[in-house]
Chain A
């Protein structure tokens, strides 16, 4: 029964995600159509491409046909996994992006894990002594953490930890003289990851700690906490066994629904630290006017956000039975 209910919920959510994904492709199509000049420039990029290729693209995307036919042609190309070809990089766009996906995932997931652990811990500490000095300073710090541009935090971290103290590398993912494989190489990459991941985590950390605090304070006032306390449960057990579990749903929402924010932050952070991911690719493709790469990245990042929201809803339903009801 429970499993069926769960599956039904997941199916309903999926039914909402599919039109969203199609809308994402339509947004891309609209941008290509509305951009000044011939759509062929956006589809091929501002690069001297061979005439046969340009003619082929005109045919594939139905550029000599009317608007609905062009939309159908575009949807068809994307559905086949064709995001175009980058002449600047001499590589299909999808392949180009997927090659860099690993680096971006390593960066965003490290930040996410760090922000979640530290954010929940700080939020819980503040909620326990609600109204105290630590609570007040965390409130101020989290508002600041949410307001400071992450790329500037990145620059300041480089100045302090790479330039002044010389503790950590500031650019790229590998050192030239580091071992090429094995433990040494992993350690080298990890040392390159510290500063960008830290810079990227601040805004997220601020959001998560704020939400953990607010949700915990509400839960700690509930009757079942009073009941647990009156049964003589220890403060530790009340906090970790009862309160934190029940305070989790809104925190999970904040984590999952702000993935777009982290991905946007990653594009900036990768440019600051020369991290070889999708953001860095976006930066170079903008200066090279490599339009198919730009629209391809927008498409994949938007799809990633839609899927992240879908997964968040499903996780939500697993931990909170109230959500599952139709």
Chain B
């Protein structure tokens, strides 16, 4: 900042930055986590090109420590290359995290918009149901559903979505209720726009900010829950996953710390990245803080 603009800023005379520039500036804290997520995604997609072994291929060199030629992160108890498993394992975490969050988003938007716009008895019933869902111990319920119904990737996604929609529904409902009385919504109603169109075209686009925040936090939670399920031995048995790697590592904590360190760090950093992005979005999209530091 030049001396003059600093001077002007102090007097409150500096030209106001555009909204996009302002938003990007306040999202600067999310740059590193976003870059990390992107890296994980690229590695997961390009895994066949970046790894020397199939993720499920055992070999004669079992329990090799990291930093040896050919096996940068070492090998596990049956000689599988940890780096290959880690690269392919990102596919499960990201797929489950993102798809479960998007499914929860779809359910949450429908329920929240219906409850908020209709009000009355429908609102009461839907909110009681979502409150009840929030009381249930999510992880234990997911565990038992998967144990009863079988552990396919699609089922895991569906279960996690069914258990995380209430949060989105509550946020959408609150936004819809506050926007329902806005003058531009009144104008649309007087203009004869039907209810569902008002919700879709007038209200939801204006309620986007909190919905985006909740969804990015949902991705983090879903990744964590999927890893916990796989750690319990309830992941998809045919796909390498970070939680599944930790399940195998549990038996070898005394011999092979690297079997636990790398997949655990991958889960922690990915979940942290999505949580951090959510936090930054929350701060940047908050209209009360627009223009603030």
- The residue from A152, A170, A306 contacting B268, defined by CB atoms under 8 A apart: A152
| Interface assignment of B123: CB less than 8 Å from any CB of chain A | no
Interface string of B138-164 (1 = CB under 8 A from A): 111101110111100000000000000
- Taking A264-B139, A286-B234, A302-B136 as contacts, is the C-beta distance between A148 and B268 under 8 angstroms? yes
Of residues 291 through 308 on chain A, the ones whose CB sits less than 8 Å from some CB of chain B are 291, 294-295, 297-298, 301-302, 305-306
- Nearest B residue to A279, CB-CB: B140
What's the nearest-Cβ distance from chain A to residue B101, in Å?
15
Report Cα–Cα, A297/B141, bound state, in Å. Answer: 10
| Interface assignment of B236: CB less than 8 Å from any CB of chain A | no
Report Cα–Cα, A162/B76, bound state, in Å. Answer: 21
**A23 engages B132 (CB within 8 Å):** yes
What's the nearest-Cβ distance from chain A to residue B150, in Å?
8
**A163 engages B254 (CB within 8 Å):** yes
Of residues 219 through 245 on chain B, the ones whose CB sits less than 8 Å from some CB of chain A are 220, 224, 227-228, 231-234
- Nearest A residue to B254, CB-CB: A163
- A-B contact number at CB 8 A: 122
**A294 engages B144 (CB within 8 Å):** yes
Give the size category of A's interface with B. 35 or more
What's the nearest-Cβ distance from chain A to residue B52, in Å?
26
CB-defined contacts of B136 to chain A, threshold 8 Å: 24, 27, 260, 302, 305
- Nearest A residue to B137, CB-CB: A260
Binds A, one of B4-12, B13-21, B61-69, B271-279: B271-279
Of residues 113 through 164 on chain A, the ones whose CB sits less than 8 Å from some CB of chain B are 143-144, 146-149, 151-152, 155-156, 158-159, 163
**A305 engages B137 (CB within 8 Å):** yes
**B135 engages A260 (CB within 8 Å):** yes
CB-defined contacts of B246 to chain A, threshold 8 Å: 149, 151-152, 155
B residues near A, CB below 8 A? Answer: 132, 135-141, 143-145, 147-150, 220, 224, 227-228, 231-234, 246, 249-250, 253-254, 257, 260-261, 264, 267-268, 271-272, 275-276, 279
